[in-house]
Structure 1
Amino acid sequence: MTRLVLVRHGESHWNAERRYQGQMDSGLTELGRDQAAQVGRRLVDEIGTPSAIWSSDLPRARDTSRPYSEAVAVPVVEDRRLREIDIGDWGGFRTDELAEEHRETVAAFTSGQDIRRGGGETFAELRARVVECLFEAVADQEGPVVVFCHGGAIQVAAAEAAGAPNPRPLGFVGPSNCSLTEFRLTPERFALVSYNRGLPAS
């Protein structure tokens, strides 16, 4: 079985402002850059040199991967299938703004319905592309594989491991910035080892 570790990106400016991002990007905050450096050191300690490092091509994930990639001298494979869920024109709005302006859609989403938000993707569509990419990332790899991505991508990977229809009803809360979620993969299935292991308190 292949060891697969998913890392959520560091804090972005829109994370700090509680704004939806989707596939838009606001860049890492100073705290986010510090988190990226810290998780890089953690990965060196816990994993050492992996067989491969993959990342979403969005800057907040790519920039989070850099300290670890540079420390172990392993290049990063960027793939757009690892992007966050597409939320269309909801990107950039604060969560409280959307809760007020789109009450019915937000209520349906939070109750577990797999609906499109802002004209974007469903969780089923996100899950299909993320799972496809993760199996490709670990194919023919003997050592661990580390993937830098996004909260939604990690949630659907966990749902896949649990055999669940989507992450919301299961209580897979959004993983924290620079947390680690670990799986074991065979060519046929995911097994979830740990979810949302956050950075140690400084």
Structure 2
Amino acid sequence: MLIYMVRHGQTDWNAEGRLQGQKDIPLNANGRRQATENGRRLAEELGDTVSAFDFVASPLGRTRETMERLRAAMGLDPTTYRTDTRLVELSFGDWEGSTIPELQRVTPDRVEARALSKWDFIPPGRDAESYEILSWRVGAWLTSVDRPTICVSHGGIVRSVFRLIGGWSEDEACDMNVPQDRVLKIDRDEGAVGWL
């Protein structure tokens, strides 16, 4: 069972190092370019087999625009895909919109607590999540995938996949870099995860 995962293209908040979470921040010009390039990369990788794939995205605007640009670059109808709320990014609660240096000045004890146990840390605020909580959503989505799939999601979702399928440790998974200009190829049956 093959899954190709793409992180949404860059936003201004990504460029500024702001915790974006579930805020609906649009792609910037670089992010739009990244989305198109990832579509070209997938078209080259999949060729005529693309018709066998399901297309699914997080319902946030930045992932939907990424998916639509990706599909257009593949020569497909940009609007023919579905969304799944289980693929929404990790909620950073009250921290969304802030950078870690900004939070360090305001609440250094909480930033230190996060650094000590990032996988299990829940930021302050209603509906905030830890990576552990997020991985429950991602795990449920992964078990529901029943055909080859191309998925556009978020950095936290990809980190959870590395933990759940790749077998990475909690520390390795939550600290890994998730590029916005690459495609992640996952063989769920083999437990193999790697970047194209």
TM range (shorter): 0.7 to 0.9
Matching of residues 43-62 of structure 1 within 5 Å: 43-48=42-47, 49=50, 50-62=52-64
Q: Which residue of 2 aligns with 1:157?
A: 161
The alpha-carbon deviation at position 51 of structure 1 amounts to 1.5
Distance in structure 2 (CA, Å) of the matches to 1:172 and 1:96: 17
Structure 1 gap ranges (5+): 198-202
Structure 2 gap ranges (5+): none
Distance in structure 2 (CA, Å) of the matches to 1:4 and 1:192: 11
Find the residue that maps to 1:20 and give its secondary structure: coil
Distance in structure 1 (CA, Å) of the matches to 2:174 and 2:25: 27
Q: Which residue of 1 aligns with 2:83?
A: 78
Deviations 1:99-140 (A, max 9, x none): 22222222222233411013301111100101211221x21x
The alpha-carbon deviation at position 61 of structure 1 amounts to 0.9
Find the residue that maps to 2:63 and give its secondary structure: helix
Find the residue that maps to 2:82 and give its secondary structure: strand
Q: Which residue of 2 aligns with 1:23?
A: 22
The alpha-carbon deviation at position 34 of structure 1 amounts to 0.9
Instruction: Give the superposed CA RMSD.
Output: 2.0
Q: Which residue of 2 aligns with 1:200?
A: none
Does residue 98 in structure 1 map to residue 98 in structure 2? no
Distance in structure 1 (CA, Å) of the matches to 2:102 and 2:18: 9
Find the residue that maps to 1:14 and give its secondary structure: helix
Q: Which residue of 2 aligns with 1:14?
A: 13
The alpha-carbon deviation at position 165 of structure 1 amounts to 5.9
Distance change (3 Å), C-alpha of 1:159 and 1:101: same
Distance in structure 1 (CA, Å) of the matches to 2:85 and 2:30: 25
The alpha-carbon deviation at position 162 of structure 1 amounts to 3.6
The alpha-carbon deviation at position 148 of structure 1 amounts to 0.3
User: Percent of aligned pairs with the same residue?
Assistant: 29
Does residue 148 in structure 1 map to residue 152 in structure 2? yes
How many residue pairs match? The answer is: 187
TM-score by length of 1: 0.84
Q: Which residue of 1 aligns with 2:113?
A: 108
Distance in structure 1 (CA, Å) of the matches to 2:173 and 2:134: 17
TM-score by length of 2: 0.86
Find the residue that maps to 1:4 and give its secondary structure: strand
Larger mean Cα displacement after TM superposition, 86-95 or 148-157? 86-95
